[in-house]
């Protein structure tokens, strides 16, 4: 995907966040409940602490990951507004795993609004996007004897676009896997990694750890192509139709699910917008893209006024990591393309500079390609080498 439609996506997402409220009266539309009772949130969820294990389920073996056991863990986490929620993580563990061998929490990109979009479900489908992008990297980690934890970091409401939420779920997922005795990882050294949306969850986890989960020791976090400042994406607005408008619409729906009182996007939609929202209520990447392809905000909004609503803007700011005053205490490896049509590079540089000033050991790598997607592939080998060193207890370098 070229940078031009990506820039159009940014523009449309920005418009969605800045439309005035109180245009209509439509309520938020949440995903259909998962019919599998394993995913149900217990009525007494508030009695559990973040990271407490709610349920454990052995899963069928996967041919894509030979000689590996798969375990699904349900645990207690926290929503963006501080409410108790149930979340899930899928654990891949090599059969030759040694007790307390390293753990890598990998936050995969999840572009979706429904239960079937979660990593725990997609692993058992024929989704080529997941398998082609990630299976080679994951198998390298598994062959090294590492355990892989793959959290469903969008939460039970599939709040696509809620970045801070992903960080909290990631940290609680690490807490949870340590409590499952059969995994034998209570004393394991843990690292985190992710790119783009997964990098955003990883970066938020790294920054939140000192305050949200000081009991969770992380050896290091590798993150690439991170949207550090969602507010910065408000620049260069546009109203025309474009191929990836569906992703912008999905982001608005996801934020509304997470902040129903502060981000009422449905109230701002016309009948056509509501119909599109309903059509992608449970959709994953391909259906979201096809529903929005060739459309634009002007078709789906009851108003295209650029009146800024303070509550809506505050939600975007709250999910912009460069505006969060905390900093990681763990070592960080960060990589990105120097010319990225999707990610504002200035926000990345400003954030890593601030982290350096706060005392974090930060290594930054700029890939030699002006493309968001290619940068993911080019940066992963270096990230893997960096993670391996952290998991082996080597001192972290820094090019601050």
Among 295, 243, 225, residue whose Cα is nearest residue 2: 243
Mean pLDDT of 265-282: 91
Burial readout 124-147 (b: 16 or more C-beta within 10 A, e: otherwise):
eeebeebeebbeebbbebbeeebb
pLDDT higher than threshold 70 for residue 129:
no
What are the structural domains, with CATH classification, of the chain?
1-400 (3.40.50.1820)
More confident call, 371 vs 29: 29
More confident call, 20 vs 374: 374
Listed range (71-80, 206-215, 247-256, 349-358) with the worst mean pLDDT: 247-256
Among 4, 2, 13, residue whose Cα is nearest residue 246: 13
More confident call, 218 vs 268: 218
* Cβ–Cβ under 8 Å, residues 399 and 364: yes
Q: What is the mean pLDDT of the chain?
A: 87
Dihedral pair phi/psi, residue 28, rounded to 5°: -60, 150
CA distance 365 to 388: 17
pLDDT higher than threshold 90 for residue 128:
no
Mean pLDDT of 367-389: 90
Kind plus residue range of the DSSP H or E element containing 150: strand 147-151
* Cβ–Cβ under 8 Å, residues 91 and 73: yes
User: What is the C-alpha end-to-end distance of the chain, expressed in Å?
Assistant: 32
Q: What DSSP string describes 50-108?
A: TT-EEEEEEE---TTSTTEEEEEEEEEEE-TTS-EEEEEEEEEEETTPPTT--EEEEE-
- Which two tokens mark 204? 């938020």
Beta-strand relationship, 332-336 and 220-224: parallel
Burial class (CB in 10 A: 0-12, 13-18, 19+), 313: middle
Burial readout 71-103 (b: 16 or more C-beta within 10 A, e: otherwise):
bbbbbbbbbbeeebbbbbbbbbbbeebeeebbb
Query: What are the pLDDT digits (tens) for 85-116?
Result: 999 999 999 999 999 999 999 999 888 999 99
* Cβ–Cβ under 8 Å, residues 247 and 289: yes
Mean pLDDT of 47-72: 96
CA distance 196 to 128: 18
CA distance 188 to 180: 12
pLDDT on residue 14: 44
Q: How confident is the model at residue 374 (pLDDT cuts 50, 70, 90)?
A: confident
């Amino acid at each position: 995907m070229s940078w031009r439609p990506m820039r159009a996506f940014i523009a449309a997402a920005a418009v969605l966040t800045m439309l005035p409220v109180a245009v209509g009266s439509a309520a938020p539309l949440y995903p259909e409940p998962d019919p599998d009772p394993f995913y149900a949130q217990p009525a007494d969820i508030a009695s559990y602490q973040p990271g407490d294990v709610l349920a454990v389920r052995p899963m069928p073996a996967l041919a894509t990951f030979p000689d590996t056991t798969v375990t699904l863990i349900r645990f207690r986490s926290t929503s963006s507004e501080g409410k108790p929620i149930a979340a899930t993580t899928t654990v891949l563990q090599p059969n030759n795993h040694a007790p307390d061998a390293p753990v890598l929490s990998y936050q995969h990109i999840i572009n979706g609004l429904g239960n079937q979009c979660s990593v725990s479900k997609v692993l058992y489908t024929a989704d080529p996007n997941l398998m082609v992008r990630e299976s080679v990297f994951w198998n390298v980690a598994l062959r090294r004897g590492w355990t892989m934890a793959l959290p469903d970091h969008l939460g039970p409401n599939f709040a696509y676009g809620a970045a801070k939420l992903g960080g909290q779920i990631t940290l609680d997922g690490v807490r949870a896997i340590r409590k499952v005795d059969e995994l034998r990882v209570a004393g394991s050294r843990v690292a985190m990694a992710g790119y783009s949306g997964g990098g955003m969850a990883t970066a938020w986890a790294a920054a939140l750890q000192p305050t949200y989960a000081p009991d969770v020791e992380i050896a290091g976090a590798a993150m690439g192509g991170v949207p550090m400042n969602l507010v910065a994406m408000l620049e260069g607005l546009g109203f025309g139709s474009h191929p990836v408008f569906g992703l912008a619409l999905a982001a608005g729906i996801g934020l509304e699910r997470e902040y129903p009182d502060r981000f009422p996007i449905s109230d701002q939609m016309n009948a056509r917008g509501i119909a599109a929202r309903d059509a992608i209520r449970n959709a994953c990447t391909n259906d979201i893209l096809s529903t929005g392809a060739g459309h634009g905000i002007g078709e789906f909004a009851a108003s295209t006024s650029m009146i800024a609503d303070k509550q809506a803007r505050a939600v975007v700011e709250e999910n912009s990591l460069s505006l969060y005053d905390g900093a990681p205490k763990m070592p960080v490896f960060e990589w990105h393309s120097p010319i990225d049509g999707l990610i504002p590079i200035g926000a990345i540089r400003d954030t890593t500079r601030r982290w350096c000033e706060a005392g974090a050991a930060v290594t930054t790598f700029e890939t030699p390609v002006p493309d968001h997607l290619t940068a993911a592939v080019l940066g992963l080998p270096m990230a893997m080498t960096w993670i391996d060193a952290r998991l082996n207890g080597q001192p972290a370098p820094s090019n601050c």
